[in-house]
Amino acid sequence: MSTAENETIEEAPVTNRKQPFPRGFLETISTGWADRPESLPAARPQAAFAAARRAKVSAAFPGKRLVIEAGSLKQRSNDTDYPFRTHSAFAHLTGWATDTEPDSVLVFEPTDAGHDITLYFRERADRTTTEFYADATVGEFWIGPRPSLAGVSADLAVATDHLAAFAASDEDVTLADAELERFVSELRLVKDEYEIAEIRRAVEITARGFDDIIRALPDAATHARGERVVEGVFHRRAREDGNGEGYDTISASGPHACYLHWTRNDGAVIPGDLILVDAGVEADSLYTADITRTLPVSGTFSDVQRRVYETVLEAADAAFAAARPGVKFREVHEAAMTVIAKRTAEWGLLPVTAEEALDADAGGQHRRYMVHGTSHHLGIDVHDCAQARREMYYDGVLEPGMVFTIEPGLYFQIDDLTVPEELRGIGVRIEDDIVMTADGPVNLSADIPRTVSDIEAWIARGLRV
């Protein structure tokens, strides 16, 4: 075949790392490939739910052209990118998840009846183009098969078109617009049945990951960076049974447990210490769990560790008891903090009474030992609905379908002179994932041991396996 006979052949870019392709390669690379017949799939389960969400967005923004972007690949170093994770609003409104194509755009075109909605993305490359074999970012020779327009349209039950057909406008309303960002965030406050099922799935996988951690504690205790042993066994479970972790795992042993977002995970795991593990598996749907358990490395709590742990458990149970439909979200936090203030005052740690510490304006002394909130919404983001208005979130009312965490803690920094030496370096958090129903809250993670006796028995079983 001559070049004249195949005028679509192009020269691929040459760099100091890539040599030019020989003429013979260029003249033959586009031929000899089998046809790719396509059997269109049935719509995936979340397609109907995503359509209902799009309808709510359309009704909220009549006459506006809305553009929801999936996002692009982000450079990690040189020519290496981070794994792509689509924007949460895009996934929520399309039903696309781990298989989202980077740079895709969901467009709401206004009509007299509402909106025509089209998903634009980069379709698979024709094999007569250099993209097919020379582009390491999107070429199928490098990253594997990419979907077709017809296949995605059937899969997601939405109209599709090639990304090249999309034209942006200066009048577009995008996720950079505060009103749209707020609306799509608040749209996720109440989960539908598909979302709740996926969060349940994520919690179930996470529970298996914690079982793996229990069995790995002896190995972790013999490694100089045992925190990474713990992180690593959870990562394996997250990748084997899910998409990965929903956030960076916190594997914090000893005094590291007092650092709320300790993700360096480079410390030793020492028998006699506690290890706080905050970890959650993200399912292939992108919905995530968010669980924390605090474990005695040696298998049993000391008397001091037990006292701290059982106070945190008391706070968690008080928060759960306060959570009911119609209750304000912040009342869950207030119930937990009442316990924290009462106990830290009893231990002589506060310069005021518990009642004075709980004063909304002049108090807060107990917050030194638990500076974070007790709860946050959970879903396709670990801190879901983050752009919702305060009156819809913190001051909002709990409704059936809401999914949130309950996660009180106590943290006594290693150098905190306001506490007795025996408490310094102890950090405890207990975190569970809760779904609100019409009959009250349900703890989705209740099967993961959380009492002192159940945890000690759990570790004993794990060490025998």
Q: Residues 229-246, buried b or exposed e (16+ Cβ, 10 A)?
A: bbbbbbbebbeebbbbbb
CA atoms within 13 A on the CB side of 203: 25
- How much of the chain, in percent, has pLDDT values that exceed 70? 96
pLDDT of residue 35: 86
Structural contact between residues 224 and 268, judged by C-beta atoms closer than 8 angstroms:
yes
With cut-offs at 50, 70 and 90, classify the pLDDT of residue 131: confident
Torsion sign (Cα): 54, 382, 44, 74: positive
Per residue in 44-99, pLDDT (tens digit) is 999 999 999 999 999 999 999 999 999 999 999 998 999 999 999 999 999 999 99
Burial class of residue 270, CB neighbours in 10 A (0-12, 13-18, 19+): middle
pLDDT of residue 138: 87
Per residue in 307-339, pLDDT (tens digit) is 999 999 999 999 999 999 999 999 999 999 999
Structural contact between residues 291 and 280, judged by C-beta atoms closer than 8 angstroms:
yes
Structural contact between residues 170 and 178, judged by C-beta atoms closer than 8 angstroms:
no
CA distance 330 to 191: 19
Q: Residues 410-446, buried b or exposed e (16+ Cβ, 10 A)?
A: bbbbeebebbeeebbbbbbbbbbbbbbeeeebebbbe
CB atoms within 10 A of CB 226: 25
What mean pLDDT, rounded, does the chain reach?
A: 95
End-to-end CA distance of the chain: 65
Mean pLDDT of 188-197: 98
Structural contact between residues 57 and 158, judged by C-beta atoms closer than 8 angstroms:
no
Domains of the chain: 33-186 (3.40.350.10), 193-464 (3.90.230.10)
User: What is the separation of C-alpha 433 from the centre of its chain, rounded to a whole number of angstroms?
Assistant: 13
pLDDT of residue 17: 65
* Residue 346: pLDDT over 70: yes
Pairing of strands 159-162, 114-121: parallel
Residue owning tokens 């405890």: 428
CA distance 425 to 215: 25
Torsion sign (Cα): 259, 316, 228, 301: positive
Supply the DSSP string of 158-198, one letter for each residue.
SEEEEGGG----TT-EETTSHHHHHHHHHTTSS--HHHHHH
Per residue in 232-291, pLDDT (tens digit) is 999 999 999 999 999 999 999 999 999 999 999 999 999 999 999 999 999 999 999 999
CA distance 414 to 369: 12
* Residue 15: pLDDT over 90: no
